[in-house]
Amino acid sequence: MTDVSIVLVSYNDAADLPVSLGSALAQRGVSVETLLVDNASTDDSREVASRHGGSVRVLALPENVGFAAAMNAGIDASSGRYVLALNPDCRLSADFAAVLAARLDRPDAADVGSASGRLLRASGPGLAATDVLDSAGIYYTAAGRHFDRGAGKRAAGRYLDEDEIFGPSGAAGFYRREALEKARISTGCFDADFFLYREDADLAWRLRRLGWRSLYVPAAVASHRRRNLPERRRSMTALANMHSVKNRFLLRINNQTPRDALRTLVPTLARDVVVVGACLTVERSSLPAFGWLWRNRKRLFAKRREIAEKVEAAKAAPRR
């Protein structure tokens, strides 16, 4: 049986795929299969993958369905005990998958559904690791916002020990297949409604509510070129910004309990005012996010009930 299925989703990523796919194929110490799910790229993404022959299985989609839905297609087409959701601009160390699989195979990790390695910012066409942290796992603030631990800080001396985290960054998220299947909802393991951006935080939140822990394992190292940052928002595409706004609210519709909402009410409302104000003035291209949420409101709240019922069933089930 395959230990780890490495699933990459590409959309016009031909320039980075030789490095990311090469690092996936170079994994040692564990049985690995590598899949590329291509979102109807118009560049040479599929051709780059085909150069590896049968070592890389290519799932070519007829249209761009977004990162979340494409990752779901890769998960469904794979067979590993674990799934490594890998961004095409991320380069793995050769033992990345083996370190995380071995850690989650230990008896004390039976309730660990996901894990993060130590991600460093990447530089240059070779995605070379720098001395700056990209992510040591996702954390949530008291105000209900999520961030990557250590992002943008010097790596030296920081986050050197294993720790429990809220969840892994989607750049190189490592998941137990059993946990993914138990977290699966009508829109997939990753919620396809997110299309792109924040889908990793949504899955992390859902897994946590279902009783799965997540670990940060610093011995697994990768490098990632992060393109979307808050300080670069004005240089991001209008599509990415629109989905970012939409998914800010979708994340709460899916997962926030009334108690959570009350606890974070003041800072959340303050932030919402800023977001809505920006959409009405300097970022009007994101206004369609609100129309999408309104048009889909009945389906979204039905999905919220679906998730809540799954959480209640998990609480009632015998402990693992």
pLDDT at 232: 56
Using CA atoms, how far apart are residues 104 and 246, in angstroms rounded to an integer? 34
Start-to-end CA span in the chain (Å)? 23
Helix ranges restricted to H, 186-235: 199-209
Using CA atoms, how far apart are residues 153 and 65, in angstroms rounded to an integer? 34
Q: Is the pLDDT of residue 143 over 80?
A: no
The last residue of one of the domains, among 227, 262, 295, is 227
The pLDDT tens digits of the residues spanning 73-87 come to: 999 999 999 999 999
Torsion region of 261: left, alpha or beta (phi above 0 gives left; psi -120 to 50 gives alpha): alpha
From 37, 68, 13, select the one nearest 196 (Cα to Cα): 68
In this prediction, residue 231 has a pLDDT band, given cuts at 50, 70 and 90, of low
Based on the domain organization, do 67 and 190 belong to the same domain? yes
- Tell me what percent of the chain is helix, strand and coil, each rounded to the nearest 5: 45, 25, 30
Helix ranges restricted to H, the chain: 17-25, 45-50, 67-77, 96-104, 177-183, 199-209, 238-255, 258-263, 265-280, 288-295, 297-316
In this prediction, residue 212 has a pLDDT band, given cuts at 50, 70 and 90, of very high
Return the SS3 of 282.
Answer: coil
Range of the domain at 109: 4-227
Based on the domain organization, do 165 and 263 belong to the same domain? no
Based on the domain organization, do 163 and 270 belong to the same domain? no
- For residue 47, the tally of other CB atoms under 10 A from its CB is 12
Based on the domain organization, do 153 and 62 belong to the same domain? yes
Based on the domain organization, do 73 and 183 belong to the same domain? yes
Based on the domain organization, do 169 and 243 belong to the same domain? no
The last residue of one of the domains, among 227, 255, 284, is 227
From 304, 86, 109, 74, select the one nearest 209 (Cα to Cα): 304
Based on the domain organization, do 71 and 144 belong to the same domain? yes
The pLDDT tens digits of the residues spanning 108-138 come to: 999 999 999 999 999 999 999 999 999 999 9
What burial class does residue 230 get, using C-beta atoms within 10 Å of its C-beta: 0-12 exposed, 13-18 middle, 19+ buried?
Answer: exposed
Domain count, the chain: 2
The pLDDT tens digits of the residues spanning 36-94 come to: 999 999 999 999 999 988 899 999 999 999 999 999 999 999 999 999 999 999 999 99
With the C-alpha atoms ordered 217, 140, 158, 91, is the resulting torsion angle positive or negative?
Answer: positive
Based on the domain organization, do 108 and 163 belong to the same domain? yes
User: What average pLDDT does range 245-261 have in this prediction?
Assistant: 94
The last residue of one of the domains, among 212, 227, 242, is 227
Based on the domain organization, do 216 and 278 belong to the same domain? no
pLDDT at 144: 76
pLDDT at 166: 97
